[in-house]
Amino acid sequence: MVMTEETIPRRRMWATMTSRSGCRSGSPPLTVIIEVPSSASLSRRSSMSGSGTGLETASYSLQYAQARLHRRMGTTWARIGWRRSARAHAPRAATLARRRARVTSLIIRVRLGVSWRKDPMITSSSEPRMANLAAANVMHRKTRTAVSVLAVAVEVAMVMLLVGMANGTLGDIADRLQNVGADVLFQSPDASLILGATSAVMPVKYADLIKEVDGVTEATPVLNWLVARIKGESRAVNLWAIDYPSYARISGGFDLVEGRPLAQPYDLVMDTVLAEATKMRVGDMLPMLNHEFRLAGITHAGAGGRLYARIEDVQEAIGEPDKASFFLVKGRSALEAERLAKALQEKFKGYKITPIAQVSKVMQDNAVGLQQFKQALTGMAVVISFLVVLLAMYTTIIERTREIGILRAIGASQGKVVQLVISESFLICLAGVVVGIVLAIAGRWGLPRAFPTLSIDLSREWAFIASSLGLTGGLLGSLYPALKAARMDPVQALNFE
């Protein structure tokens, strides 16, 4: 390759390389910037033997520069030669003539945003690592990178939070049941373990039949009803309509903060979380089920439902007299819960009878809708990250066509170009995963403060799954842009406008 002459500014020299060997015939010129540090001596000794002519340090131009750039085992080689300008007519100066023509160091920057530092007397230098080049390219386009990172982060946070809400809701139901103090949950054959998700009911008189089973000490009916609105606001709250005397024999009664338990018609008891969210106080009236209920007491949260009423009042309000959604059964000992469940199953064949300690696991295993919901989320996460990275990297490749052509022209293999694009995608997705996890943690902290009845359970398992989905989708999305970049013809790429 031969560099044609162009002017040299102070400390910066522009040259154009045209193909003579080592590149395809007809390759377009390749612009190179050569910078000479301020500490470098600009003095030159005449290269003409016996001339004795010195050079004036203030007027130099590049007349001859020879460079050989070829690739050898991942190393770029270069050699730069210098001659004095034919137009320079400096006076004879012995002191300048004795000074060696040596530039201590220079920087060659090809229009890739990456530099190689070399000494002109040294003929080899290590090629920059693709990881550094990928990081430089990602940081160079800050706005696009930020948008891509945010899109991947939202996908990761969305998966973690939505699955966390589903798991948190089921876990909250199971914990509340366990904290009541019952040993067995008794439901009708077509009932759902997600209380409030079904309208299946049974006669209240089943309580007496359940008590006949050996080992049962108490059985109390509960009519579960989902209240959609409280004080004009949308709030999905489980109302437990109970027979308070039998319920108290199982649970020990309400742990009241203020007020009294259910005693009068259309009395209500509310837990502290719901009372704080609705700003209700003892004695306030609450329109519900076409009736006016009065808040009689406020109990500590964590057991049973968030809202309680007398079972006969709710039966009358919804038109289901003598009906119950499920029964809470108490045995002589919690250690005998499984034996008690088997005994009940023998007498009530086909009914759903579950030891309270196993409710959480059974809910997770049998919640078909929840499993489908999780599968839909995982698929959606892969698609989102795939499209985000595909569009971002494809647009980037189009904009950097000339840069990729230069990279290919100086010897980068197709594999190196593919590695470069995939590395950039990986960095974007990795940053998105980190930001997404931070957003999910922030949502876990902030959402329950905005919606007190909301329960979110973030797990390491789903953090790993969401992160893997984001990275997998992003890497898949980078394959097409990477292959497109690798297959570019260097000559056509350098001529791209």
Let me know if residue 70 belongs to a domain: yes
Best CA proximity match to 122, nearest among 82, 81, 78, 83: 78
| pLDDT given at position 267 | 94
Q: What would the two tokens of residue 116 be?
A: 């190689």
Let me know if residue 200 belongs to a domain: yes
Calpha distance 177→185 (Å, rounded): 9
**Residues of the domain holding 456:** 140-165+370-494
The verdict on 261 and 331 lying in the same domain is: yes
Let me know if residue 176 belongs to a domain: no
How long a stretch of residues is the chain?
A: 497
| pLDDT given at position 19 | 33
For residue 121, the surrounding DSSP H or E stretch is none
Task: Work out whether strand 307-310 and strand 233-242 pair parallel, antiparallel, or are unpaired.
Answer: parallel
Q: What would the two tokens of residue 169 be?
A: 């809701």
- One-letter identity of residue 155: E
446-457 residue pLDDT tens: 988 888 888 888
The verdict on 34 and 123 lying in the same domain is: yes
Calpha distance 438→446 (Å, rounded): 12
Calpha distance 112→404 (Å, rounded): 8
The verdict on 109 and 15 lying in the same domain is: yes
Handedness of CA 173, 178, 181, 182 (dihedral sign): positive
The verdict on 205 and 121 lying in the same domain is: no
| pLDDT given at position 377 | 79
| pLDDT given at position 366 | 64
The verdict on 75 and 16 lying in the same domain is: yes
| pLDDT given at position 315 | 92
| pLDDT given at position 54 | 30
Let me know if residue 428 belongs to a domain: yes
| pLDDT given at position 193 | 66
Let me know if residue 344 belongs to a domain: yes
The verdict on 318 and 207 lying in the same domain is: yes
Calpha distance 470→434 (Å, rounded): 10
The verdict on 83 and 39 lying in the same domain is: yes
| pLDDT given at position 57 | 27
Let me know if residue 12 belongs to a domain: yes
Residue with the two structure tokens 């959606």 = 380
For residue 43, the surrounding DSSP H or E stretch is none
The verdict on 112 and 153 lying in the same domain is: no
Residue with the two structure tokens 């990602």 = 138
| pLDDT given at position 453 | 80
Let me know if residue 181 belongs to a domain: no
Calpha distance 324→200 (Å, rounded): 9
Beta strands in 204-315 (DSSP E): 216-230, 233-242, 256-259, 267-271, 285-288, 291-299, 307-310
| pLDDT given at position 207 | 92
Q: Among 315, 350, 385, identify where a domain stops.
A: 350
| pLDDT given at position 69 | 33
| pLDDT given at position 93 | 43
Q: In total, how many domains does the chain have?
A: 3
| pLDDT given at position 485 | 81
Whole-number CA gyration radius for the chain: 39
Bridge partner residues of 115 (DSSP): 109
Regions of the chain short of the pLDDT cut 70: 1-131, 193-200, 364-369, 493-497
The verdict on 306 and 449 lying in the same domain is: no
What are the residue ranges of helices labelled H in 88-195? 94-97, 130-140, 142-180
The verdict on 208 and 299 lying in the same domain is: yes
Q: Among 317, 350, 383, identify where a domain stops.
A: 350
Let me know if residue 475 belongs to a domain: yes
The verdict on 341 and 413 lying in the same domain is: no
111 three-class SS: coil
The verdict on 114 and 147 lying in the same domain is: no
| pLDDT given at position 481 | 82
Calpha distance 166→283 (Å, rounded): 34
Q: Among 320, 350, 380, identify where a domain stops.
A: 350
Answer yes or no: are the C-beta atoms of 307 and 222 closer than 8 Å.
Answer: no
